[in-house]
Amino acid sequence: MAENDDLKALIRTIPDFPKPGIQFRDITTLLLDAGGFATAIDRMAAAVPGPIDLVAGIEARGFLFAAALAAPLRAGVLLIRKDGKLPGATIAEDYALEYGQDRIAIHADACAPGARVLLVDDLIATGGTARAAVRLLAKAGAELVQAQFLVDLPDLGGADALRADGVAVASLIAFPGH
């Protein structure tokens, strides 16, 4: 990932947010840099193994990357939303939070069985939401080609948990700690 140090330099770290001890990796500074954002999308697209049908983005920042990647990959965009945000019939998946549970959903007709899908989000930390998204895509009958993230926080284990689940994982940048 040293080859992506130019992009890493565009990501601001905000200490002690949202609580003491957390090093928040703020990608908004990369998004504000037109060249940096375009380079990130180019590099993410180049890392996709083979053709895909859909890019599935996890709400909310994952939508930015899904839409931007879909164009060069000539793929559709599948929105993975918080439950209750989609107007049509949905399928959903629950996942655990530190204090309770949450639920994500997709439209029931959004993904044809056998569709080749790339899952994307801006960052992977503990992997709870990403793992739920993988289960949700499996319910829909998708063939998950890869889960891809701009940033990985490897010390939190999310990418390794996805790999343990048999998912191919790629990211451009890694930051130590949490």
- Any idea which residues carry the catalytic annotation? 61, 98
Residue with tokens 């180019």: 42
Helix (H/G/I), strand (E/B), else coil: 80: strand
Conformation bin of residue 143: beta by default, left when phi > 0, alpha when psi is -120 to 50: beta
d(CA 46, CA 12): 25
Q: For residues 168 and 119, is the Cβ–Cβ distance under 8 A?
A: no
Closest CA to 150 of 73, 32, 81, 65: 65
- Beta strand 143-152 pairing with 169-174: parallel
Residue with tokens 């343990």: 164
Our measurement of the distance from residue 42's CA atom to the centroid of its chain's CA atoms, rounded to an integer in Å, reads 16
* 61: Cβ contacts below 8 Å, ≥ 6 apart: 27, 121, 122, 123
Q: For residues 104 and 131, is the Cβ–Cβ distance under 8 A?
A: no
